[in-house]
Chains A and B, each alone.
Chain A
Amino acid sequence: MSSLLKILENEVQIAALAFMGLVYSVRLAWVFRFKIGRDRTLPAGSGRSGTGYSLMSIAMPWAMESTRKRPGRYVEFVVFHLGVAAAIAASFIIPYGPGLFETAWVRASFQALIAAAGFVGLVRLARRLTDPVLRAISSPDDYFSLALLIFWLAAGVLAAPNRPQAGEGPLAAFFGLTAFFLVYVPFSKISHYLYYPFTRIYLGRALGHRGAWPPAAAKAAGARPAGEDAA
């Protein structure tokens, strides 16, 4: 392995990760700068239960009409995000636990998952380019982030065998893109996962407090039915 690839797999990644961590810290401080009010009403349900339901909705495609009516989109979502998670894991496994990818079925599983995510990415990009609704709401960042992810996932599939002796191109591409991503992500829509807990918690807490979420659970648990205050 060349010293350049070694630096790319280690020092550059660590520096990029540190930069991402720093920007995310600033980002979180920015979020907390905004004020949040206190709800002065008597609860009809539980804010905590509502929050739990809201956060878990990601694993309940039946809970939302939008995913219930389009199960294919939900499968796309799951495959895409699992593939991205696998590629992120690969960026650590290759330099710090290469032994794991010496097991053929493990390596093949990662490659299959990352490849499937890349395919979903292509489908999503094609949809974004052709669907008038998605085109109308898309920004350059939406296209760029998706295209870049597709390249990164493709590089991840090729890099997983971790054979620099057969040519360092795939590994260099994968780690080069990973480092770029770590720097770019906090400024792009890819950082949506940072906001996800916030949006979900605030919505879940509000609707849980009102007894709207989780549906019917409060009643099943023997609590006072929503809307019926104690005298």
Chain B
Amino acid sequence: MRRRSNIPSGVVGAPLDLRTQDEAKRQGCPSVVDGRLRTYAPGDNAGRFVDILGHRVSRPLAVSLAACVHCGLCAESCHYFLARPDDPTMTPVWKADQIRKIFKRHVDWTGRVAPWWVKAGSPRDDEDLNRLKNIVFGACSACRRCTYNCPMGVDTALLVRFARGLLTELGIVPEGVFNVSRDEWETGNQMAVTETDYLETLEWMRDELRSELGTDAVDIPVDKPDCEILYTINPREIKFDPRSIAHAARIFHAAGVSWTLPKRGWDQTNFGLFSGDDKLGGFVARNVYEAADRLRARRIVISECGHGYRSTRWEGYNWAGCDQKLPTESVVVTLKRLLEEGRIAVDRGRNPEPVTFHDSCNIARSGDLVEQPREVLRRVCADFREMHPNRRENFCCTGGGGLLSMAEYRPLRLEAGRIKADQLRATGASVVCTMCHNCIDGLADVIKHYRLPMRVVQVLELVSKALVLPGQP
């Protein structure tokens, strides 16, 4: 398993790193012991992969696997291929074919009868599965741009997530995926933030805000029942960017919103989306829904996070197997409503720099928000300008699909980031705004790597900066 893969592109031949898995087994991590988190075990994994594949294929997946006509029109929709135009293995269709050929060989009839005729094939051993791991985790950010550009309607991103889920079941995953999944299973949040850290950070932000505004009336409530809004956040906000929570608190205070964070079930991010593990996805999403239920909140509001929004608003209810009852929205939609209702006043002159907006793939292509952030930004920025292409045709920040947690694929990710860098540079903006924490880190990497004179912000930050508080000029 540690020999180097012979993938043609030669860039994603990372071996399966088992150090963290071995350590987790040695420590007796609960999620490993009780089998929620699968670890790698030598044996007939190729056979098991085929078995699980046969049982898990849904109808949308089956037709996406059967329908591709190999027209190649998806190639130029992929930032990996655009950055490496001479490498056919970077095309979405080639990547999808690595899954498709197994389906054809074992599930589809033509491939069972005459495999060579349709290029069907089986994974022979764990090395083949590791190679597949490197393709579906390392050479695709599951941004779904190719899906939108397929004349047949083949959902390649869906196939990639499906294959990731099968590999996760066998423990054949990048180390980062294993680590984050373990943290999420065992602590309920993907950065293993302790309850003490969480509460202390919120108190710290509350105290700073009180000091800044000169009033004790402002609060960051926790576990307050019967509120209008249950606010859920990304653990990155606790660990690295607590100011974003303060921005939200400042705005909610100005608007007179009744809101709370939950003590448990506050993480709206969901690594189940990236690992393809629907069980993990359901577990994390259910935590949020149960918190809203427990506190009798009237609305779930999701802080700025692309995959968190997609997971909590769209996928989580299905993974968790519960019907959506409460409105579940992005904080950007909340901000838009507060602005429209006149509950907050803003001065766009406070954001004079040229600002452009980066659409998160998970929100624009796999979600539903495209115009709302723009409507907010036009109200709070003096010089808003579009990057091109934009909205549902925007390119990935490079950090989608959980790639930021997979260090072994960083060189290829940054190489593919040239497309994003060109897009950013062409705007002439000095600030790029995005409503996703993953995108913040992905864009920051691109900006640093390609030496762009820009900084990344979020919508909350710009709104907070433009906010005119009562009594202020």
Contact surface of A with B, Cβ cutoff 8 Å: 30-32, 34-37, 39-42, 44-45, 54, 57-58, 64-67, 69-70, 73, 77, 131-142, 187-189, 192, 195-196, 198-200, 202-204, 206, 210-212, 215-216, 219, 225-231
Contact = CB atoms under 8 A, between A and B. Distances in A.
Nearest to A55: B153
Interface stretch (B55-63, B233-241, B350-358, B397-405): B55-63
Of B61, B88, B336, the most chain A CB neighbours within 10 A belong to B88
Contacts of A131: 72
B392 A212 contact: yes
A229 B70 contact: no
B116 A142 contact: no
B110 interface: yes
Interface in B112-143: 116-119
Contacts of A54: 153
Contact of B69 (A187, A192, A206): A192
Contacts of B450: none
Contact of B63 (A137, A202, A212, A230): A202
15 contacts: A30-B109, A40-B323, A41-B324, A65-B77, A66-B151, A137-B88, A140-B116, A140-B119, A192-B69, A195-B67, A199-B60, A210-B366, A210-B368, A225-B372, A226-B369
Nearest to B323: A40
B298 interface: yes
Contacts of A58: 151
Contacts of A227: 329-330, 333, 367-369, 372
Interface in B427-463: none
Nearest to A142: B70
B57 A34 contact: yes
Given A65-B149, A229-B329, A138 B70 contact: yes
B139 to A, nearest CB: 14
Query: Would you list the 3 A-B pairs with minimal beta carbon distance, nearest first?
Result: A229-B327, A136-B88, A195-B67
A137 B73 contact: no
Nearest to B65: A195
A219 B375 CA distance: 14
Given A137-B94, A199-B67, A41 B317 contact: yes
A137 B323 CA distance: 41
Contacts of A67: 73, 151
Given A228-B337, A229-B328, A134 B117 contact: no
Contacts of A203: 60, 147, 153, 155
B371 interface: yes
Interface string B58-98: 11111110111110111111000000001011010110010
A133 B151 contact: no
B10 interface: no
Given A134-B72, A140-B116, A212-B365, A39 B153 contact: no
A31 B63 contact: yes
Nearest to A189: B69
A31 B62 contact: yes
Given A195-B67, A210-B368, A141 B57 contact: no
Nearest to B364: A212
A69 B388 CA distance: 14
Nearest to A195: B67
Given A54-B153, A231-B299, A137 B148 contact: no
